[in-house]
Structure 1
Amino acid sequence: MATVTLSLVLLALATTGCLASDDTLRFIVIGDNGGADTFPYTTPLELGTADRMAMWAKKVGGIHFVMELGDNFYDYGIKDVEDARFQNTFEDVYTAPSLQVPWYIVAGNHDHRGNVSAEIMYTKMSNKWRFPDFYYPLSFNIPNSNATIDFVMIDTVVLCGQADDVILHPEGPEDVKAAASQWVWIDEQLRSSKATYLFTAGHYPVLSIAEHGPTLALVSMLQPLLYKHRASGHMCGHDHNLQHLQETKDGVTLDFILSGCADKMDTSEAHKTSVPEGTSKFHWADPTSKGGFVYVEASASKMVSTYITAEGDILYTTTTYPRELN
């Protein structure tokens, strides 16, 4: 798999060149921002969220990157690398100067209805689209410190299988051998990381109280690995709302950060009783809103995740602390 390791200085020079000089790494997490497959190929929520992301990024003095966690193109992905949806649903939407930073991409279930390989190939054709492979590692330095943050970017559809509006819960991988190879790779990445903060990031949630609920394969396979390697948690989309779930076992606290309403909104809490009692800390889905996102600011001493609406309201914040490694 492709490896992406970036120093803060090179990242800043390669993008806007105007980031504020301080001691934080700043980024935005979105998912499910895939517009529409008919004209105008966008939705009011996608546009509203994009506008607020741009304003927020400018307000904080610049962000270093965006995490885009799947369902990049509704409803059937894209056909090939020349597909006009790249322009209509992505490039023409996120045009603000404050958003001209690297966007790190993974595929969702709707992308897998189309041509994910073409989404990967598009990396060579865009100034900000970064999707080097189906799964890949990312590593960032936190400025003016020895602290780092690692992301293990995963393809949850390859791992778990396809889900849609009829099959709400993935029933198993289509390619068992490909899934097994990725599980081995995930274990290796988590085991080898010495980063201050360590997250997996993919489309499907581990835990969720909303329409799709917990992803059983990730609960049985990924969650134990996160505990085993004393990770910080998992970031995802898939359910069309904002959520924070948190669980602690054997001295390890995992934060599950779900950001899935950058294009659609779903108020369902159908799986409220499907997660361990007390793990659901925050859930938001307002059908009158134009969407939302999560803004993350990481320093050597803490990582703060702020949940923000497209209207600019700060809904909730949670703090992740550095890992305690043996």
Structure 2
Amino acid sequence: MGNQCQWHLWLVLAITCFVSQNYVAGELERVHLKAQPRNGNSSKGDGFLGFLVVGDWGRKGAFNQSRVAFQMGKIGEKLKIDFVVSTGDNFYDNGLNSQHDPAFLQSFTNIYKSKSLQTHWFSVLGNHDYRGDAEAQFSPFLRQIDSRWFCLRSFIVNADLAEIIFVDTTPLVKSYFLNSDNHTYDWRGIIPRKRYITNLLKDVECALRESTAKWKIVVGHHAIRSIGFHGDTEELVNYLLPILKANNVDFYINGHDHCLQHISDTNSRMEFLTSGAGSKAWRGDMKKQRREGLRFFYDGQGFMSLQLSQFDAHIAFYDAYGTVLHTWNVWKPIFHSSM
């Protein structure tokens, strides 16, 4: 895919409420991104959109995090990316202890230093993030430290070509509430859980139903389909997947399993993409069941890129040395209707 347009993105809608203590159904917070072509023409035309995806990374540079970050910088420069998506478990092992936790600098600012990565980072929380002060990651104070950082429980990035809905999947997983394995989770703003989940799914369904974007993308921490260590997430299969299929979502992107993975849905156009290999990875952990639709699996460290145009999407997975491991093209019908 060519890169005929350089997109310069900026926030045009201020987020007025970073922390919701009592989540109720309503329109999800939106970030609107605008762009200008490289040639200065005010008309965006067809345009292009490109971004990197990395997950499960925050280990202060250890377990190849720094190596992955370096290669992300090189690929980001080559592709002229517009932003970075983080699929959660941003800070190990137990999230941030407060908005003043030095781990934010040690695992984020001081690691992702390449010029091409000095752009927006849109992040969701993972289960490890909930083991600390989860709400610290929503704090505007972190954006004062590093203006790239943007994290909410659930929100929408509207980038003209695509709408990307970030979904807080950790509260959907019942086992964290039943068996904490001696971990303490920060459930502020989540309890009562049933009401939180009902409202969240209602908002996601409404946003997808009303979207007219060319590409519909949903990002969460937990996998819907995976042959990795954790495998499929039953609650997402039961409650979130039907909503995604009913509303013609193109890509579901997640982390959680420390691998790179691509699975095509067998009865829809949706692609399941796992990018949870930003640092520590599990070597040799692969489930043998449910391999239908499997296109690619790699259990080492790495990241992925996604480039979009009006007509096609190009997916690529990279290892910690920048080697391209797997690519895939998805074509969008010319007369496609997202309604």
Runs of 5+ unmatched residues, structure 2:
1-27, 183-189
Equivalent-residue separation in structure 2 for 1:321 and 1:222 (angstroms) = 24
The alignment of Structure 1 onto Structure 2 pairs a total of residues equal to 291
* TM-aligned CA deviation for residue 176 of structure 1: 1.6
Q: Contact 1:210–1:267 at 8 Å: present in 2 too?
A: no
User: Is residue 184 of structure 1 aligned with residue 202 of structure 2?
Assistant: yes
Q: What is the distance in 2 between the residues matched to 1:301 and 1:134?
A: 31
Tell whether 2:128 aligns with 1:98: no
Q: Partners of 1:46 and 1:161 in 2: how far apart?
A: 30
User: C-alpha displacement at 1:314, in angstroms?
Assistant: 0.6
CA displacement, residues 3-35 of structure 1 (integer Å, 9 cap, x when unaligned) = 11111239xx9xxxxxxx994211100100111
Give the SS at the match of 1:253: coil
Task: Give the aligned partner of residue 49 of structure 2.
Answer: 25
Residues 1-326 of structure 1: matches in 2 within 5 Å? Answer: 1-9=28-36, 23-35=47-59, 41-60=60-79, 62-121=80-139, 122-125=141-144, 126-131=146-151, 133-141=152-160, 148-161=161-174, 175-249=193-267, 252-273=268-289, 275=290, 277-286=291-300, 291-322=301-332, 324-325=336-337
Q: Hey, what's the Cα distance between the residues in 2 that align with 1:153 and 1:311?
A: 28
Identity %: 27
**CA shift in 2, pair 1:219/1:85, >3 Å:** same
Cα RMSD (Å):
2.3
Normalised by the length of structure 2, the TM-score is 0.80
Task: After TM superposition, give the deviation of residue 272 of structure 1 in Å.
Answer: 2.8
- TM-score, length basis structure 1: 0.84
8 A Cα contact 1:206 1:214, kept in partner: yes
- SS of 1:3's equivalent in the other structure is strand
Q: Distance in 1 between matches of 2:227 and 2:172?
A: 21
**Offset from partner CA, 1:47-71 (integer Å, 9 cap, x none):** 01000001111223x2100001100
In 1, Cα distance between equivalents of 2:286 and 2:76? 33
Shift of 1:226: 1.1
SS of the residue aligned with 1:4? strand
Residue 308 of structure 2 aligns with an amino acid whose one-letter code is A
2:169–2:222 CA contact under 8 A, matched in 1: yes
Q: Which amino acid aligns with 1:283?
A: F
Mapped to 2, the partners of 1:308 and 1:42 lie a distance apart of 18
Is this contact kept in 2: 1:226–1:233, CA < 8 A? Answer: no
Shift of 1:321: 2.8
What secondary structure, in the 3-state scheme, does the structure 1 residue paired with 2:226 have? coil
- AA in 2 matched with 1:129: W
2: CA distance, partners of 1:261 / 1:297: 20
Once the two structures are overlaid, the 10-residue window that deviates more, 205-214 or 314-323, is: 314-323
* TM-aligned CA deviation for residue 236 of structure 1: 0.4
Check the 8 A contact 1:31/1:70 in 2, yes or no: yes
| Amino acid corresponding to residue 266 of structure 1 in structure 2 | W
Q: Measure, in 1, the Cα distance between the counterparts of 2:126 and 2:213.
A: 26
